[in-house]
Structures are given as C-alpha cells and as structure tokens.
C-alpha cells in the first residue's frame, strides 16, 4: 500500500514540475512585441480591434499567394491585378436620345460591361437578375445606360433628391480626377426618381460614428438628363415583365466641380482612366391592400459591377476602372498609372491593418504584409514617412520618368472596413 502511494506521489510531482517548466520556459524566451501581438490578433479576432472583414482577408490572402508564385515583370506592371475594366468610346459625332430604351445606334455598336456579381465577391451566389452597363462620352457629357432584369416594377418614392437607394435602384459612383476625394454619387429608380450628391470623402473618414452630414453635399447638381423604361407597368401588381433600363447623361463641367481637374481640361483626355462603381440594391416586396410595399424584414441583395468585398459602396480604392478612347478599334485597356495606384493601395491598406493590430503605424515596410512584387521595386519605388502618429506613403514610377510622383496620406481613407 505504501509503495502505491509513493508511485502516485511521484507521478503527481512529475506532472507539476513539467507544467512549472513550461510556464518558466514560456516567459524566459524573448519575443518581439510585434510577433506576439500579431499572432494573437490573427488567431483570435476577439483580441484585436481590426476592422478588416473575413471576405476581404480571403481575397487578399489569395492575391498574396498569387503574388508569391508570380515573377516581377516590368512588362505587366500596368496589367496585373487590375480590377474590372471597361472601355468607353467617344460618340464621334453620333447622338443619344435620352428615352430610357438604349436602342440608339450609338449604344448598339458598343459592348456591355461584365454582368454584376454579389458585392461581397465571386465566392457568393450569382445574382438571380442580370445587370449590365454601357458608357459613352462626347466633349461635353458622360452617358451611362443600364439594363436590369426584373419581374415586378414598383416604387413609392416620387420626389427627386430623396433616398432613392432605399428602394430598387441603379447607382453610379465616379471619381473624375483620381484623387478619390470629391467623388460623385448618382442614383435612379424605376420611377425615374433621382438623387445626385458629392462625397467630400468616404463616410468612414469622418470618425466613428461618422458625421454623414459633413461627408456629403447634396446641393451639388450633375446637370442630369434622365429616362427609364420598363416592359411592364410600374406599381401594377397584375403586370409583370422581364427588365427595366435607365439612361443618363451628366455634364463633365459639373462632374469636375471641386476636383483637381484643371479648368481647361473638364472632359477626359484620350486614354485617361477614371475610377467607377456601378451597383444596384434589390429589395423584396409584399402586396398589401393591392399595392407593393417593401418587405422591411427581408434581407437586401447588393449587386455591383466590381466586387467591393463587403456591403459598402463608399470604398473608392476598390472601384473598377473606365478608360476613355476615341478610336473604336482600340480594344486594349492599358493605363500607365495603374502600377502607382496598386502599390499605394497595398501599402496604405497594410499600414492600417498593422495599426489595427499593433496600435501604431510603422516605417519599416519589411514588417508589413506586402506582396513580393510590390516590394521588388521593379514597377515603383516606395517609401513611408512617419510623423506625429501619421504617415505618408510615396510612390515614384520606375517605368516613366515623366510620370508625377504619387502619394497617399493617412487622412485620405481608412481603406478597408466592413462598416456600411
């Protein structure tokens, strides 16, 4: 009996000594502050204040893996990792009758954009209604036409400058000068009701909670010409159809207001590219007393041309690109500034992700989660300067010495967030 007690005591003592050894060893091994914080943050999201959603992380990790596997090639600097793109051709003397039907020869001779997808990305279900867009331009105006599959046409908002997006609608966001500030938002419903406004910055730049009244200017006017068309009767529960379409034009002079465009260069130059997003919310409906009523309890579908990887349209760095051309036989998208924007977006996003985990920015880019081809400097030279808790990211093109130096400051955008 005594022998058994001795054996049990020895086993218990050994276990206790083993546990004590592990604890002592854990605290005796030096760790860098950055490594310990990063591991905790990535393994347990409850331990960090990061605002980067899971959808964006999935997309970004896939991008980084592809970047590791690919070589850095100067010839592809301006074509790799592009968002969705579209070429908008000059009307070259043709005209468009704004009647909502998109049947003018000027529309028929140009292609549609790619079909819309779930705003959260291609991993999500394909929209059950198709949506496509066309874009043209002349020396004075920008023209946008959209065709949206739909079976029931309804709307209860009847006055312009209302919250059109709270019912089924089509939306255009456009950045006329590449600054990602003072971008323009334009909305239209099947009722031909519209809202146009200017965003001084993205909503997320105005704090948490953001002061949206300071973020936008609804008094801005696009000098809009507009029309819609349906193949069914609006607000008739006994009438169904297959699609509705919207046709718009906007003044380049108005789009350029409050931007960095020179006074004499209101229209785009040949091969100039603008950041755009096209989107539509799709709401469910109920029939109450013989009338359509929005079903407030049902989830809203959000579909967009370029995925934004979260349900938030006000993320200009995730927009697609529309390039302006005059020659109809020029079908190649190639923009000489894309490598600058791509590099800046990468560094800026990585800096904010680092800060969300470690509580500070850092000027050592080797500590950031950046793709090897961004760090290789084969396309651009990058630098980060810290000061007073802020930072400036600078990118200098290595492809063309005539291109201007580009930079993004920390007061521009907290680029990637999942807050609507």
Distance of CA 241 to CAs 141, 149, 237, Å? 31, 9, 11
Mean pLDDT, the chain, integer: 82
Residue 190 lies in a domain: yes
| DSSP category for residue 338 | H
Last residue of a domain, one of 325, 357, 386: 325
Backbone angles phi, psi at 74, to 5 degrees: -60, -30
Same domain, 357 and 368: yes
Decide: helix, strand or coil at residue 328: coil
Domain that holds residue 64: 33-81+339-420
- Counting the structural domains of the chain, the total is 2
Same domain membership, residue 168 and residue 40: no
Name the more confident of 196 and 37. 196
Query: Are 372 and 271 within one domain?
Result: no
- The secondary element (H helix, E strand) that includes residue 134 is strand 131-137
- Indicate the residue among 265, 295, 325 that finishes a domain: 325
Mark whether 42 and 150 lie in a shared domain.
no
Cross-strand pairs, 228: 246
- pTM check: above 0.85: no
Residues 6+ apart with CB under 8 A from 58: 121, 123
Q: Is residue 206 part of a domain?
A: yes
Confirm whether 6 is domain-assigned.
no
On whether both 47 and 93 belong to a single domain, the answer is no
Residue 140 lies in a domain: yes
pLDDT at 152: 97
DSSP SS3 for 293 = strand
Give pLDDT, residue 37: 29
- Is 19 within the bounds of a domain? no
What gap in Å lies between CA 228 and CA 146, rounded to an integer? 9
CA distances from residue 140 to 8, 143, 210, 226, 267 in whole angstroms, order as listed: 91, 10, 35, 16, 7
Q: Which residues of 253-265 are buried (b: 16+ CB within 10 A; e: fewer)?
A: ebbbbebebeeee
Could you tell me if 276 and 360 lie in one domain? no
Residues 110 and 52 in one domain: no
Sign (positive or negative) of CA dihedral 271, 110, 117, 231: positive
Is the residue at 410 inside a domain? yes
- Predicted pLDDT of residue 39: 25
Could you report the per-residue pLDDT of 113-168, keeping only the tens digit for each? Answer: 999 999 999 999 999 999 999 999 999 999 999 999 999 999 999 999 999 999 99
């Amino acid at each position: 009996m005594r022998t058994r007690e001795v054996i049990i005591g020895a086993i218990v003592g050994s276990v206790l000594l083993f546990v004590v050894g592990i604890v002592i060893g854990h605290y005796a091994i030096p760790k860098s502050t950055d490594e310990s914080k990063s591991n905790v943050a990535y393994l347990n999201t409850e331990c960090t204040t990061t605002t980067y959603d899971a959808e964006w992380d999935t997309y970004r990790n896939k991008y980084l893996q592809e970047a590791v596997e690919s070589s850095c090639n100067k010839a592809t600097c301006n074509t790799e990792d592009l968002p969705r793109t579209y070429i908008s051709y000059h009307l070259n003397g043709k005209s468009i009758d704004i009647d909502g039907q998109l049947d003018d020869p000027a529309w028929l001779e140009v292609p549609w954009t790619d079909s819309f997808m779930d705003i959260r990305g291609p991993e999500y279900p394909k929209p059950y209604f198709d949506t496509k867009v066309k874009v043209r331009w002349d020396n004075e105006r920008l023209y946008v036409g959209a065709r949206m599959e739909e079976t029931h046409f309804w709307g209860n908002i009847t006055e312009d400058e209302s919250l059109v997006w709270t019912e089924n609608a089509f939306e255009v966001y456009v950045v006329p000068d590449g600054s990602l500030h003072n971008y323009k938002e334009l909305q239209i419903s099947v009722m031909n009701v519209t809202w146009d406004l200017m965003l001084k910055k993205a909503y997320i730049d105005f704090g948490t909670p953001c002061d949206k009244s300071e973020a936008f200017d609804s008094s801005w006017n696009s000098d809009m010409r507009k029309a819609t068309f349906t193949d069914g009767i609006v607000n008739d529960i006994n009438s169904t159809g297959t699609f509705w379409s919207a046709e718009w034009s906007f003044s380049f002079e108005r789009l350029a207001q409050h931007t960095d465009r020179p006074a004499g260069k209101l229209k785009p130059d040949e091969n100039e590219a603008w950041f755009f997003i096209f989107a539509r919310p799709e709401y469910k409906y109920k029939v109450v007393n013989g009338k359509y009523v929005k079903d407030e309890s049902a989830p809203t579908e959000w579909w967009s041309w370029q995925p934004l990887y979260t349900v938030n349209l006000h993320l200009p760095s995730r927009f697609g690109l529309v390039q302006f051309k005059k020659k109809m036989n020029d079908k190649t998208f190639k923009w000489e500034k894309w490598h600058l924007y791509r590099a800046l977006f990468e560094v800026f996003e990585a800096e904010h992700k680092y800060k969300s985990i470690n509580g500070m920015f850092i000027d050592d880019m080797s500590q950031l989660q950046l793709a090897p081809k961004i760090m290789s400097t084969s396309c651009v030279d990058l630098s980060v300067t810290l000061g007073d808790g802020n930072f400036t990211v600078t990118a200098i093109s290595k492809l063309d010495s005539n291109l201007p130096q580009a930079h993004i400051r920390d007061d521009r955008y907290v680029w990637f967030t999942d807050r609507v």
